[in-house]
Amino acid sequence: MKHIKTINKANLSATAKKGGCGKCQASCQSACKTSCTVGNQKCANESNN
């Protein structure tokens, strides 16, 4: 494509189907701990990776 360059292959809707297993870390979003966004976390479910 000439006008649009796609940067990533994310597909959130696919993760809905096999997600929600709860193996991943809890993550405080508040400034008082550290609010790194959930978006940076790794999925901890080996069968998804």
The residues binding ligand SF4 (CB under 6 A) are 28-30, 32-33
Which among ligand SF4, another protein, none contacts residue 47 (Cβ within 5 to 8 A by kind)? none
- Check residue 31 for interaction with another protein (CB under 8 A): yes
- CA quadruple 6, 18, 28, 26: dihedral sign: negative
Which residue is it, tokens 């360059």?
A: 5
- Check residue 47 for interaction with another protein (CB under 8 A): no
For residue 45, count CB atoms less than 10 angstroms from its CB and return exposed for 0-12, middle for 13-18, buried for 19 or more.
middle
Site residues (vs another protein, CB under 8 A): 1-13, 15-16, 18-44, 48-49
